[in-house]
């Protein structure tokens, strides 16, 4: 008797590359590095990462901006939280739910 194939191909847990960050009514092209993990107790994904240094984005976040929307490729806009710039000028990104690179 053949055993069933239980392996399912899931998208990569990490993404590195271009993305579009929507802030208000403006789209910024950024380069990001993010990873995701599934939280079984919550029943959802959590994902986080950073942008590469970007002076315009850094000044916006430093002045209080904390929310945006992230798009990777043709994925739908996904809400993202923005945190303080790191020492190298990158901005920390975090989100919950299906990561945008999974679409």
CATH (residue range 14-102): 2.40.10
Instruction: Write down the pTM of the prediction.
Output: 0.82
Distance (Å, rounded) from C-alpha 8 to C-alpha 38? 15
Decide: 79 and 22 in contact? Cβ < 8 Å: no
In the predicted model, what is the mean pLDDT of the chain? 88
Domain borders along the chain are 14-102
Residue 2: HSE in the Cβ half-sphere, 13 Å Cα cutoff: 3
Q: Which tokens in the block code for residue 56?
A: 């315009």
Distance (Å, rounded) from C-alpha 76 to C-alpha 80? 12
Ordered per-residue pLDDT tens for the chain, 103 residues: 444 444 444 568 999 999 999 998 899 999 999 999 999 999 999 999 999 999 989 888 888 878 999 999 999 999 999 998 888 889 999 999 999 999 8
């Amino acid at each position: 008797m053949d055993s069933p194939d239980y392996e399912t191909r899931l998208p990569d847990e990490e993404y590195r590359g271009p993305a579009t960050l929507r802030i208000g009514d403006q789209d910024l092209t950024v380069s990001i590095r993010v990873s995701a993990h599934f939280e079984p107790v919550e029943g959802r994904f959590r994902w986080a990462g950073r942008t590469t240094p970007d002076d315009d984005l850094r000044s916006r976040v430093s002045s209080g901006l904390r929310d945006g929307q992230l798009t990777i490729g043709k994925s739908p806009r996904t809400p993202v939280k923005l945190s303080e710039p790191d020492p190298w000028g990158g901005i920390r990104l975090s989100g919950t739910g299906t990561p945008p690179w999974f679409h």
